[in-house]
Structure 1
Amino acid sequence: MNSFLIVRLGSLGDVVHGIPVAAALRQEFPSSRIDWMVDPHYVELLNLVKGIDRKIPVDPRAIKHGRGRVRFKETLRELREADYDAAIDLQGLLKSAMLARSVRARRTIGFPRKHLREPLARLFYTVAPDPGDATHVIYKNLALLAPLKVTDRRLRFPIEIPYTPTLIQVVQRFDPVGYVLINPGAAWPNKQWPPERFGQVAAAIARDFGWKSLVLWGPGEQELAHAVVAASNGAAEPCPPTTITDLVGVTRHARMMISGDTGPLHIAGAVSTPIVSLFGPTRPERNGPWGLYDVAISRVHHCSCVYERTCKKAERCIDDISVAEVMSAVHRRVAARG
């Protein structure tokens, strides 16, 4: 086989979860062409991944009309000329399935109906292998390689981490003691632990270990970061503005990441940074940290709003997680690090 197209448009964490598929393909087919169709926001992340030949930016919101539609038609024509042996849809939505099928690869591979959020996507796949008892989304993704006879499906994240000016600034600022990363934000309000408690965790980490905390923030989250800092009794400070490349580097050099279920958490997993994670409405066994010693504190079994962006109750299940419980997890993770 000579050429493959991966389709996983977003989000950030989901793109991270797809990287082992590209790595396994490269391991099995070292001379093949491996391309990836992705939302333009995440091309920067894939530029750090060794073994991907071409990153194809496609914004499904922009291809329906105007210049975006014209550009997509040109892109689609190029993709069809590539004559892919297989297009692999890791997203499992109707839009991604249609995009995967539209390139006219010899095979379009996706999940069977029972594993799809939008079951109609199955109509666009020519092959739909069953992931079996795989629980985590990474292993579900890797199971899609079975029809291609890829047997070595070990987790690999071949990410190159450049020393950007922001990374150098952060490392020098906290040298030689290092820093803990706290990530209070999340796209879903239902996944956000109260910022005041993150601040209290930062204060406790400084008291118990002598480490200061660096608080990550993304677009629209600066006030959230400041709330964490304000509650930390001087133990935390906001991170400088970061690109995705900066984020990967700053995460790799951290002593630990403390975060809810969101993109930076999964980047930490990919670069082997120790993790303590907090889960409310989502299942850590499906999309939580996969490292042997990483800790996931979960309330999903008590949640009535599982996989919903906002909570329907006055008190969210994630709010039931206490500062003491998080600090206990921090101590366990530090002890396990060796």
Structure 2
Amino acid sequence: MSDIPRRILIIRNDKLGDFVLSLPAFALARRAFPHAHITALVPEYTRELAEACEYIDEVLVDRHRDTSWSHVLRLCHDLRAHDFDAAIALFSIGRVGLALWLARIPYRLAPATKIAQIFYNHRLRQRRSRSEKPEWEYNCDLVRRCITHFGDGDTSTPAPPFLHFPRDEITDLREHFCAQHTIHRDARLIFLHAGSGGSANNLSLEQYATLAAAIFTRIPAVHFVLTAGPGEEEVVHALANLLTGIPHTVYHSTQGLVNFARHLAIADLFIAGSTGPLHIAGALDVPTVAFYTRRRSATALRWQTLNSEDRRLAFSPPDGVEKTDMSAIDVDAAAVTLCRTFFIT
């Protein structure tokens, strides 16, 4: 058993959904090391969400993202200034590994993969390419290895939600949102995110429109909120044009990720492909319906959301068709299943 670390760095500096799926790992570290100062190394575009996470004491922005020697040295300087005892790279890349090594952080842990592993003095073989468990579980496994190295702390999986806001705040926001958009206060709010952010295959806009119509037929007291992030305005308005006669509102998020997350917290259901907003909804423990390919690196298991098991549904192309053929998903059948699961008792 080694001395308990006082200052821990946890690194997840890639895409939004990847960072959100690291939140259980941060929760696990916080529970095991309650007195440690936990810092997250993230890119600028997930900084705001990281700062809203109760398990994180400090956020360090990875501003030196090219592989030049000068940028590696600048990152090394930033790391040395924080005097970390331990660093856990949930996502390992060479320049970060080199900076950690140059910063002489005593305990450096990462997946045993790629050439970057040479910079770490502790490694865990995970074989993530096999996609045998959820991404968030791979992240937690790394933190569990750190916990067992330093002692015998609790390594059980934390329970959702992993993001939350005060209940009164969300109740007031929902009332304001409904009043602002002339939505009946008792309507079921189904948030639908048709954008993909370029990160995953998704349903077509026509499929989403068919899905919405099938839901509306079964649950008339529903109102769809079509969400759009930066650069997705054209997509969301194209979908809105397909929803003739179906009550809907376009919500374009322009005030940052935390404000966007607050709005997702008012949803009765969130529907999307495998993308960052889906994972924010899951972290809030909002019920979700997600559409995935069957490609091994992009399955419903690998990119499972963080919400409770009874609050998530996933649909993929059936056997016998191309694994990435999202057009083969029966959205009418999906509508029946989600209505029975979440709305019809």
1:64 Cα shift?
3.9
Q: Per the alignment, do residues 238 and 77 of structure 1 end up closer, same or farther by CA in structure 2, a change over 3 Å counting? A: same
Q: Which runs of 5+ in 1 are unaligned?
A: 114-118, 307-315
Q: Indicate the SS of the match to 1:98.
A: helix
1:134 Cα shift?
6.1
Separation in 1, partners of 2:282, 2:200: 22
1:101 Cα shift?
3.5
Q: Per the alignment, do residues 4 and 12 of structure 1 end up closer, same or farther by CA in structure 2, a change over 3 Å counting? A: same
8 Å contact kept, 2:194–2:208: yes
8 Å contact kept, 1:131–1:144: no
Q: Per the alignment, do residues 152 and 215 of structure 1 end up closer, same or farther by CA in structure 2, a change over 3 Å counting? A: same
Aligned length: 318
What's the Cα RMSD here? 2.8
TM-score, with structure 2 as normaliser: 0.82
1:253 aligns with 2:253: no
**Map 1:21-32 → 2, pairs under 5 A:** 21-32=25-36
1:177 aligns with 2:195: no
1:272 aligned partner = 285
- CA deviation string 1:195-226 (max 9, x = no partner): 12212222222222121111111222111101
Separation in 2, partners of 1:57, 1:64: 17
Separation in 2, partners of 1:227, 1:261: 20
1:190 Cα shift?
5.1
1:239 aligns with 2:246: no
8 Å contact kept, 2:8–2:85: yes
8 Å contact kept, 1:201–1:232: no
2:61 aligned partner = 57
Q: Indicate the SS of the match to 1:285.
A: coil
Q: Percent identity?
A: 22
**Map 1:180-329 → 2, pairs under 5 A:** 180-188=190-198, 191-209=201-219, 210-235=221-246, 236-242=248-254, 243-280=256-293, 281=295, 282-290=298-306, 291-293=308-310, 294-299=312-317, 317-329=325-337
Q: Per the alignment, do residues 301 and 5 of structure 1 end up closer, same or farther by CA in structure 2, a change over 3 Å counting? A: farther
TM-score, with structure 1 as normaliser: 0.84
Determine which structure has greater relative contact order: mean sequence separation of CA pairs < 8 Å that are 6+ residues apart, divided by chain length: 2
- CA deviation string 1:85-140 (max 9, x = no partner): 21111113334433443432111111123xxxxx1122122111245996111111
Q: Indicate the SS of the match to 2:59.
A: strand
AA matched with 1:298: S
**Which residue of the other structure, out of 37, 40, 47, is the alignment partner of 1:36?**
40
1:143 aligned partner = 141
8 Å contact kept, 1:7–1:38: yes
Q: Per the alignment, do residues 40 and 160 of structure 1 end up closer, same or farther by CA in structure 2, a change over 3 Å counting? A: same
Q: Identify which range, 284-293 or 130-139, moves more after superposition.
A: 130-139
8 Å contact kept, 2:7–2:36: yes
Separation in 2, partners of 1:99, 1:147: 20
Separation in 1, partners of 2:46, 2:200: 23
1:123 aligns with 2:118: yes
- CA deviation string 1:203-253 (max 9, x = no partner): 222222121111111222111101211111242221133421122111111
AA matched with 2:202: Q
Separation in 2, partners of 1:302, 1:87: 44
8 Å contact kept, 2:197–2:275: yes
8 Å contact kept, 1:90–1:110: yes
- CA deviation string 1:266-291 (max 9, x = no partner): 11110011111101241111112253
